[in-house]
Amino acid sequence: MRRGRLAFAVVARDYANHHVSISETEPVVKLRVRSGESIQEAVRRFRKLCERSGLRKEMRRKAYYEKPSERRRREELKRLRKARQAARV
């Protein structure tokens, strides 16, 4: 790591089954702090990157066990919502 640079990396973990879903060498979100950038700005950018990548949503969804039938039902409803929205446009 170079002097004056800071890097953040997050690895998505499957907390329900207590194993790493992505290898620890392959972070989901990477952020290099720009020179002259404050830590607050870097954290703000990091939060936005995490939000856009869907990391928080996936972690919340995987926090508890979901039955396969519930997963299929959720995916089917999502598919129907997208189809309805596409038909509107």
pTM for the structure as a whole: 0.50
Identify whether 49 is part of a domain.
yes
Domain assignment present for 59: yes
pLDDT at 54: 86
Q: Which domain holds residue 50?
A: 7-88
Q: What per-residue confidence (pLDDT) applies to 71?
A: 93
Residue 34 in any domain: the answer is yes
69 domain-assigned: yes
Query: What pLDDT shows up at residue 58?
Result: 85
- Token digits for 6? 């800071």
Give the three-state DSSP class for 65: coil
Q: Is 20 within 8 Å of 13 (Cβ atoms)?
A: yes
Quick one: pLDDT at residue 1?
Answer: 46
Residue 2 in any domain: the answer is no
Please count the other Cβ atoms lying within 10 Å of the Cβ belonging to residue 59.
15
> How many domains does the chain fold into?
1
pLDDT tens for 3-47 read: 455 555 555 454 445 454 544 556 678 888 889 999 999 999 999
- Look up residue 2 and give its DSSP letter: -
